[in-house]
Each structure stands twice: as C-alpha cells, then as structure tokens.
Amino acid sequence: MKIGIDLGGTKIECVVISEDHQIVFRERLPTPKGDYAATVNTIEQLVAQTLPYAPANTPVGIGIPGTLSSDTGTIKNANSTCLIGKPLDKDLALRLNRPIKLANDANCFIWSEFCDGAAKGTTNAFGVIIGTGVGGGLVMNHQLVNGLNGIAGEWGHNPLPHFKLEQQPCYCSKEDCIETYLSGPAFEKRFLEQSSTKTISPVNAEEIVNLARTGDSLAQKHLDTYAKMLAASLTGVINIVDPDIIVLGGGMSNIDELYELVPNYLQEYVFSDTIHTPIVKAKHGDSSGVRGAAWLWND
C-alpha cells in the first residue's frame, strides 16, 4: 500500500493506492491560504483518515509546489509562499510518525505518467503542468531527474523566448518568466485586458476557449497566440533534452485545440528539419500528481 498527497494551491488531496495500483481511498480538503501551520494540520487530518485502508506505518509521498533545498533543508521556489523556508519534511515526519518523501509536484506528475500513464514504455519523458502556475518534470533513462540544484525541469522560470511583449513580473522576483504568460491566470488576464471594450467579457479560461469555438475573432487570435507561445517555450526543452514524449497536465491541458496547434508551430522554432515529438494529454488527468507522489516509494 502507498499513500500519496498532492499539496496544491487550492486543495490538498490524499489517496491510498493498493498493490494492484487501484485508488482505494481519496479525500480532498481546501488548502489553508498562506498558513503553514494550518497546512501541516490539514495534511495530518487527511493521513489520519487513511487508517482503515493502510497500516499506520505506511510511508507517505508528498508532491509540493516547490522543492527541498539541499543547502538549508527547507522549501524553496514555492508559489505557495508560506512554505518557503520551512522544514516541511521534518515537520511532517514528526507529526505523522511515518517515513516521508517530498518531491516537486511536476516531478510527481511525470513520474505517474511514466510509470503507468501516457508516457509508459518510453525512456525519456518531459511533463508539463500548465495551471495556476507552470512547472515541469523530467524522466531520463527511466529515472526521475532532480538535478544538482533540485530544479531539473523548471522550464516555467526561463524567459519567454521569441516574443517581444510588455514586461511581466513573476513571484520569483524575476521578469518575463514563461509562467507569467502561459499559466491559466495569465491566459485569462491577458484576454480581459484585450477585451476591455466588450460589454460582457468571459471570466475564466474555459469561457474564453468556448468563445473562440463559437467564432469570436479576438478569442481565436488569443488562443492562437497562446499556442505559439507554448510551442516557442517548449522549444528549449526539445532542443536540449529531445524527449521521447511531452505530457501536458493542469487546467490548460484540457484545451483540445492545443494538441493540434502547438505541434504545427514547433517547426518554426525547433532546431530540426522534422519534429516527431508527440505532445499528449495526461492519462490520469488531475490524479497524476497525487498518484505520482505515492509512486515516489516505488523505484
């Protein structure tokens, strides 16, 4: 039995996965906003609910929106900023009295998809999360790659290439990070800025995409530009890593048009005469992160 937890910006999800890879328990609770102590308490509450399904000594894998610093032993690079500087693994190990493994949520995502999802059977795979933020995880030679600094796969905090747009500040203190253009909130914000003259404007990404599908020229152009920016941003990954597959997850991955538009635009940017890299939707959808967290205890 394995226990996985996905610590997200809006919800914390916990699952128990059986030996035959089935989810036998699932529960979600809202993430306490900006409150580290309450976050630890919520995780403890969720794990307590697994006792009828898994032994009390079952290890716990946790996907987090950041990574553990090898220098300080505390969390860094988290867009849930209340986690930064906190020894989350040690605090949870003491509170839960269980073995704990932490990993970046995008690493958990691609590990799940590599083990038994859309990337199963490949050797090298890159996982992309485009939702509230933009993250990435990398599997090379059948191994999850963390990197010397614990930031392997963090393509979302490279500058957006090939586009000259107004500067966008990022929570990481830099400017023009890919995340500030490709995240779900950024997609919505940019469209609302462009559509300020409309009497009624969509309020979320799903409504913007639906507007494009009904023939709204502004929404169609906005979606097309987004696909171009995504293609240009993935170019760096393909040029350097050349993975066997790229798997998309997060809320923006549910836009079906991206799987047609982005491959067509890759040719403009990738350093190759032909591009064979498949870009596919995650098999396990929203469950990939929490499943991958549980899989952290399976080499």
Tokens 């690079």 correspond to what residue?
Answer: 77
Q: How many helices (H) and strands (E) does the chain have?
A: 9, 12
- Return the closest-CA partner of residue 137 out of 22, 12, 295, 269: 295
Other CB atoms within a 10 A radius of the CB of residue 293 amount to 33
Q: Going edge to edge, which strands form the sheet with 143-145? A: 143-145, 134-140, 125-130, 245-249, 279-281
Question: Strands 134-140 and 125-130, how do they pair?
Answer: antiparallel
CATH 3.30.420.40 residue ranges of the chain are: 2-108+287-295, 122-282
Contact 2, 61 (CB under 8 A): yes
Task: State the first-to-last Cα distance of the chain, in angstroms, to the nearest integer.
Answer: 14
- Return the closest-CA partner of residue 166 out of 186, 188, 151, 140: 186
- Planar angle of CA 161, 162, 168, nearest 5 degrees: 60
Amino acid at 175: E
3-state secondary structure at position 61: strand
Q: How is 88-102 classified by DSSP, letter by letter?
A: HHHHHHHHHTS-EEE
Categorise residue 277: left if φ over 0, alpha if ψ from -120 to 50, beta otherwise: beta
CATH number, span 2-108+287-295? 3.30.420.40
Q: What is the pLDDT of residue 108?
A: 95
Cα–Cα distance measured from residue 163 to residue 230, given in angstroms and rounded to the nearest whole number? 11
pTM for this prediction: 0.89
Percentage helix, strand, coil for the chain under 3-state DSSP, each rounded to 5 = 35, 20, 40
Q: What is the pLDDT of residue 298?
A: 74
CATH number, span 122-282? 3.30.420.40
**206 φ, ψ (degrees, to nearest 5):** -60, -40
Average pLDDT for consecutive 10-residue bins of the chain (299 residues)? 91 92 93 94 97 93 92 90 94 94 94 95 97 93 92 93 86 89 94 74 86 94 97 96 97 96 95 95 92 86
3-state secondary structure at position 127: strand
